[in-house]
């Protein structure tokens, strides 16, 4: 949402981020991942999940990024500025590599089975 083309959506996410940082400041509790229910009747992507249900947690990706820097990027709205921040963990990168290798082994003319 921070990279959305619409400024009002970016500022909405910035406000959510501020609330999450303030609520969890100095907390050393372990974060427990919970899968949220998806609202398939949502009109836009930011309404797919009920953000009010459950606790507010700051995205791990942004925890070490200074607030002033996030605020500046949100105001400018340039998505290419976000590319310097990693968006996947090393484990995710490994999975992407494995899935790519698996798909290469079954894709292509040489690997297809033809039924005549």
Q: Where are the domains of the chain?
A: 7-106
- Which residue reads 């303030």 in tokens? 22
> CA-CA distance, 63 to 47, in Å (whole number)?
23
Q: What is the pLDDT of residue 112?
A: 61
Contact in structure between 72 and 11 (CB atoms under 8 Å)? no
H-only helix segments in the chain: 7-24, 67-76, 90-106
Do the beta carbons of residue 77 and residue 7 sit within 8 Å? Answer: yes
pLDDT in tens, the chain (116 residues): 777 778 888 888 888 888 888 877 777 777 777 777 888 998 988 888 877 766 677 777 777 788 888 888 777 766 666 666 666 677 888 888 888 888 877 776 666 665 55
- In the structure encoding, which two tokens stand for residue 34, read together? 């919970």
Q: Tokens representing 100?
A: 């790519």
For the whole model, what pTM was predicted? 0.56
DSSP 8-class letter at 47: G
Q: What is the pLDDT of residue 94?
A: 85
For position 81, what pLDDT does the model report? 64
Q: Which helix or strand (DSSP H or E) is residue 72 part of?
A: helix 67-76
């Amino acid at each position: 949402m921070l990279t959305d083309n619409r400024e009002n959506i970016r500022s909405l996410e910035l406000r959510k981020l501020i609330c999450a940082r303030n609520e969890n400041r100095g907390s050393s509790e372990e974060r427990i991942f919970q899968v949220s229910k998806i609202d398939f009747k949502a009109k836009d992507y930011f309404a797919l999940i009920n953000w009010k249900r459950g606790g507010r947690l700051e995205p791990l990706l942004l925890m070490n990024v200074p607030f002033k820097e996030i605020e500046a990027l949100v105001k400018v709205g340039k998505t290419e500025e976000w590319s310097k921040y990693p968006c996947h963990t090393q484990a995710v990168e490994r999975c992407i590599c494995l899935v790519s290798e698996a798909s290469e082994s079954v894709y292509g003319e040489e690997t297809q089975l033809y039924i005549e």
